[in-house]
Structure 1
Amino acid sequence: MSERKGPRYALLGLSAAVLVGALGYYFANPVETVASPALESAKAERKLESLAELDGKPPSHRALNVQTWKTAEGSRVLFVEARQLPMFDLRLTFAAGSSQDDNTPGLALLTNAMLNEGVAGKDVGDIAQGFEGLGAEFSNGAYRDMAVASLRSLSDIDKRTPALNLFAEVVGKPAFPADSLARIKNQMLASLEFQKQNPGKLASNELFERLYGNHPYAHASDGTVQSITSVTIDQLKAFHNKAYTAGNAVIAIVGDLSRAEAEAIASQVSAALPKGPAVAKAVQPVDPKAGAHHIEFPSKQTHLLLAQLGIDRDDPDYAALSLGNQILGGGGFGTRLMTEVREKRGLTYGVYSNFSPMQARGPFLINLQTRAELSEGTLKLVQDILADYLKNGPTQKELDDAKRELAGSFPLSTASNAAIVGQLGAMGFYDLPLDYLETFMQQSQDLTIEQVKDAMNKHLSADKMVVVTAGPTVPQKPLPPPTDKPSEQPLGVPEH
C-alpha cells in the first residue's frame, strides 16, 4: 500500500509529503511569483533567542479554522486557509480501497495506479511533464479503506489554473491505456514474486487472512498473481465509475486561498468526477478464533506477529487506547515491550504495537523478529508482558511521560500544509468532528491510569490473540536473563 507519483518519483506512504521541492521551485523562480504578505510578516517576527524562554511553557500548536461545505455534486469539502506560503495542497479521498475489490483482489490498487497514465490527448510522459513544468506535484495511493489523489501547486492563478485543469482530467477522466496497464501489471507481478522471499510479508498476509476470514479486509491490497493477470480495462473503468464518484469523495484543501477560491476549486474538481453516490461502508468483521500458525521459511530470523481485532475509527475509547498503546509498544524506546525485549535482553532490534482503526474494526498488532532458536521463548515473553500490562495497567510515571511526549509531538500534526491536508482528509473520510484534533488532545491529557487500563481491557484480551510466525523450525534455546547491560549487538538483527 503506497502512494505513487509519476514515473520519475519513488513510492511514498499515505502521510508522506515533501515541502522542499515546492519551496525549491518557488525560490529558484522569484520573478514568476510574489511572496505573500504573511510570509514577509513572519520573517519580521521576533525570533527565539534562548532555550530558557521555553522553560515551563507547553508546546504551542497551530489553531485550525476548519470550514466545511458540500459541492453541488455531493462531495464533502474541508478547507483551512493558510497564507504563510504561496501554495496550496489538495487531497481527494475516496472510499475506493481494497475493501471494495469484491472478487478481484488488487483491482482498487491497479485502478488508482492507472490514474495518471493517460488522458485524452496526453500520455503518461505528457502528464508528468505538465505537472513538473508548473512546479506542481501529483501523488496517489490505495489502501484497505481508501484511495487518494493529491495535488500540490503554487497558488498564483497562472500556475494554479493549468495545474487544476490537468489534475481534474487525471482523476476524473483517466484513459486507462493498454500499454500502461501491461507495464503496471508486470511491476505488480514482479512485486508479488519478490514477496515470496520476504517472510515478514508472508506472515502479514497470513495474519490478515486468519484475522478477517471472509471479510473484505482479509486480502492484501496488492492482490494475487491470478487476480492481477485477469484485470481488464473494462473492469478498471467500471471500478472508477463506481468508486471515484463525486458523492464518494472527500475534498480537503489547505493553503494560500480565500474561501471563494477554495469553493471554485472544489466545484471544478467535483464536477469533473463521475456522478454517483457514496459506496457502502465495510461491514464489521467477526472475531476470529485464537491460535498460532507457523510458516516454514529458511532464514536465521523468525518473524512474530500477534494480533486481534481492535476498534473502528470513531470509537469513543480511541484516545485512551492510543495513549495506552504508546506506553505498551507504540512509542519506540522506553515502552514496556522495547524495554523488556530489547533493552534488558537484547532479543530484537525493535518490537512495536499499534492499533490501526479503520471504517470497520482494524487490527491491534504486535510485531518483531528475533533469532530463530529464541523465537518460542521470545513469543512467550511478549505474551506475558501484554498479560501483565492488561492486568496492572500503566504506572503513573509511564502515563505522565506518555502525555508529555504526546504534547510535545502533537504540534507536528499541524506543522505543515501537507500534514493538515492529511488530517482533514481523514476527518472527512471517517466523519470526525471539526474540532477532533483539539478534542483528542484534551481527552488524552485528562486520562487516568484506571481509564487507560479499563479501555485496554475492554478491547484486548491476552488469550484471544491470533499468532503467526515465519521462520525455520530449529531446536530452541533458553532466553538470556534480563540485565541492565545486555550485549552491545541485539540478537534479533533484521534481515529485511
Structure 2
Amino acid sequence: VLERAVQNPDTIAQQTYARLGYAGHPYATPTDGTPATVGSFTLDDILDAHRAAFTSDRVHVGAAGDITPEELGAIVDRIVGALPESDRPLPEYHTFDAGPGVTVVPFPGPQSVIQFGLPGIPADDDDFMEAYLLNEIFGGSGFTSRLMSEIRQARGLTYGVYTTLASSQFGDSYVGRMSTGNENAAAAIELVRDQFRWLADGGITQEDLERIQTYLTGAYALRFDGNESIARVLASMQFQGYPLNYVNIRNDLVRAVTLEDIQRVAQRLAQPDQLHFVVVGQPAGLEEDAPAPAE
C-alpha cells in the first residue's frame, strides 16, 4: 500500500506540501509512514509507540444512546483506568511557512496535480468562525464556490477545485487542491492568485454571506442523525476545546458574522503573494522557483 502511495501524484503533492511547510515538525512526515520507516520498525518500536499514544490523560469520550452517566462512567473507568499517564511532550505549534513560490515535482502523465496554500488560522482564533464562512463561500462549498465558478465552470480548466482551513491541533494552513492538463497548469495557477486577490479586495457580497449562513445553519442538524454521529460530535467538541453548550449556540455564532467581519478576515487570510504551489506533473511553461524537498 505504501509503495503504491508514493507513486500517486495526489499523495506526492500532499507530502511535498507538508515537507515544505512544516520542516522539522511531525506534520512534515506522513502519518502512515513510508516504506523505509515502516520496514525498519521493531516490535519494541510498536510497543513504545502504543504506550506513548494510548494514555489516560489524553482521552476524549463522547457517548449517545440508552445509557446512564453512572453506567458510562463505569465503562470508561474500566478502559481508561488500565492506561498509563502520558510521559511524552506534545509538539510545539507550527504554522505553515513554506513561503511564496512554485515547486515542481516531475511526474509522467497528461495532468498536473496542484496543491497550494499559505499560513492559515488556528482553530481557537477569535476569527476562526469568520474564516470558516469565508472559506465556504470561496472554495469550500462545492459547485457553488467562487473557485469552482471561475476555474471550472467559466474556463473549464479543472474538474474540481477546493480550499479548506487545515487548522490542526499543532499547525495550520489554508490549503487548496486541483488537477488540470499540463498545458493549463501555469494559467490555472495565475487564476488562483487572481481569485485570492478578488477575495482580499472585498469580492464577497452580503448576498454571498446570507446564502452560506442559510445553508450552514440549515444543514447543521444533519450531523446529529444517529447515536454514532452524535457521539462523534461530542468527542470532537472536547478535542477542539469547545464549550459544552456549543451545539446550542453554534448556529447563533454563524448568524452573528457580518460582512464587515468577512472583509476584515479576508484581508488577513487572503495573501496572494504568499501562496506556495506544489505541482506534480509535467507542466508546460511553468518555471520552478523553489526546489523540491529531498525524500
TM-score of the pair, normalised by structure 1? 0.55
Q: Alignment partner of 1:197: what SS? A: coil
Which amino acid in structure 2 is aligned with residue 285 of structure 1?
A: H
Quick one: distance in 2 between partners of 1:213 and 1:347? Answer: 32
Cα drift, residue 193 of structure 1: 1.4
State yes or no: 1:282 paired with 2:86. no
Q: Alpha carbons of 1:453 and 1:437: their partners in 2 closer, same or farther (altered >3 Å)?
A: farther
Partner of 1:6: none
- Could you report, residue by residue, the CA deviation over 1:177-223 in whole angstroms, capped at 9, with x for unpaired residues? xxxxxxxxxxxxxx221123311111111001111111111111111
Q: Alpha carbons of 1:447 and 1:278: their partners in 2 closer, same or farther (altered >3 Å)?
A: farther
Cα drift, residue 299 of structure 1: 0.8
Q: Alignment partner of 1:210: what SS? A: helix
Moved more, 386-395 or 316-325: 386-395
Partner of 1:366: 176
Question: Is this contact kept in 1: 2:184–2:283, CA < 8 A?
Answer: no
Q: Alignment partner of 2:201: what SS? A: helix
Question: Is this contact kept in 1: 2:139–2:147, CA < 8 A?
Answer: yes
Quick one: distance in 2 between partners of 1:332 and 1:444? Answer: 19
Alignment of 1:87-106 (within 5 A): none
- Could you report, residue by residue, the CA deviation over 1:281-336 in whole angstroms, capped at 9, with x for unpaired residues? 32121533221100111111111111122122222212111100000010001110
Quick one: distance in 1 between partners of 2:238 and 2:87? Answer: 13
Alignment of 1:467-486 (within 5 A): 467-474=277-284
Alignment of 1:104-183 (within 5 A): none
Q: Alignment partner of 1:307: what SS? A: strand
Question: Is this contact kept in 2: 1:311–1:360, CA < 8 A?
Answer: no
Question: Is this contact kept in 1: 2:186–2:283, CA < 8 A?
Answer: no
Partner of 2:35: 225
Quick one: distance in 1 between partners of 2:264 and 2:31? Answer: 34
Which amino acid in structure 1 is aligned with residue 86 of structure 2?
A: P
Quick one: distance in 1 between partners of 2:248 and 2:25? Answer: 34
State yes or no: 1:388 paired with 2:198. yes
- Could you report, residue by residue, the CA deviation over 1:8-52 in whole angstroms, capped at 9, with x for unpaired residues? xxxxxxxxxxxxxxxxxxxxxxxxxxxxxxxxxxxxxxxxxxxxx
Question: Is this contact kept in 1: 2:120–2:173, CA < 8 A?
Answer: yes
Quick one: distance in 2 between partners of 1:210 and 1:240? Answer: 28
Partner of 2:48: 238
Cα drift, residue 475 of structure 1: 5.4
- Could you report, residue by residue, the CA deviation over 1:366-423 in whole angstroms, capped at 9, with x for unpaired residues? 1100111011001101110111111114111111110111012111122221221111
Moved more, 195-204 or 327-336: 195-204
Quick one: distance in 2 between partners of 1:418 and 1:245? Answer: 23
Question: Is this contact kept in 2: 1:393–1:450, CA < 8 A?
Answer: no
Partner of 2:228: 418
Which amino acid in structure 1 is aligned with residue 254 of structure 2?
A: S
State yes or no: 1:261 paired with 2:71. yes
Partner of 1:45: none
State yes or no: 1:209 paired with 2:16. no
Larger helix fraction of residues = 2
Which amino acid in structure 1 is aligned with residue 46 of structure 2?
A: L
Partner of 1:195: 5
Which amino acid in structure 2 is aligned with residue 430 of structure 1?
A: Q
Which amino acid in structure 1 is aligned with residue 221 of structure 2?
A: P
Cα drift, residue 351 of structure 1: 0.6
Quick one: distance in 2 between partners of 1:457 and 1:361? Answer: 21
Q: Alpha carbons of 1:288 and 1:239: their partners in 2 closer, same or farther (altered >3 Å)?
A: same
Partner of 1:306: 116
Q: Alignment partner of 1:362: what SS? A: strand
Question: Is this contact kept in 2: 1:308–1:466, CA < 8 A?
Answer: yes
Quick one: distance in 2 between partners of 1:278 and 1:339? Answer: 50
Q: Alignment partner of 2:64: what SS? A: strand
Quick one: distance in 2 between partners of 1:457 and 1:278? Answer: 41
Partner of 2:247: 437
Quick one: distance in 1 between partners of 2:115 and 2:259? Answer: 27
Select 1:325's aligned residue among 135, 143, 151: 135
Quick one: distance in 1 between partners of 2:225 and 2:90? Answer: 31
Quick one: distance in 1 between partners of 2:170 and 2:236? Answer: 14
Greater C-alpha Rg:
1
- Whose RCO is larger (CA < 8 A, sep 6+)? 2
State yes or no: 1:247 paired with 2:57. yes
Question: Is this contact kept in 2: 1:292–1:467, CA < 8 A?
Answer: yes
Which amino acid in structure 2 is aligned with residue 206 of structure 1?
A: T
Partner of 2:258: 448
Partner of 1:339: 149
Select 1:405's aligned residue among 199, 215, 224: 215
Which amino acid in structure 1 is aligned with residue 190 of structure 2?
A: K
TM-score of the pair, normalised by structure 2? 0.91
Select 1:294's aligned residue among 104, 111, 115: 104
Q: Alpha carbons of 1:290 and 1:406: their partners in 2 closer, same or farther (altered >3 Å)?
A: same
Count of aligned pairs: 285
- Could you report, residue by residue, the CA deviation over 1:71-98 in whole angstroms, capped at 9, with x for unpaired residues? xxxxxxxxxxxxxxxxxxxxxxxxxxxx
Q: Alpha carbons of 1:475 and 1:280: their partners in 2 closer, same or farther (altered >3 Å)?
A: closer
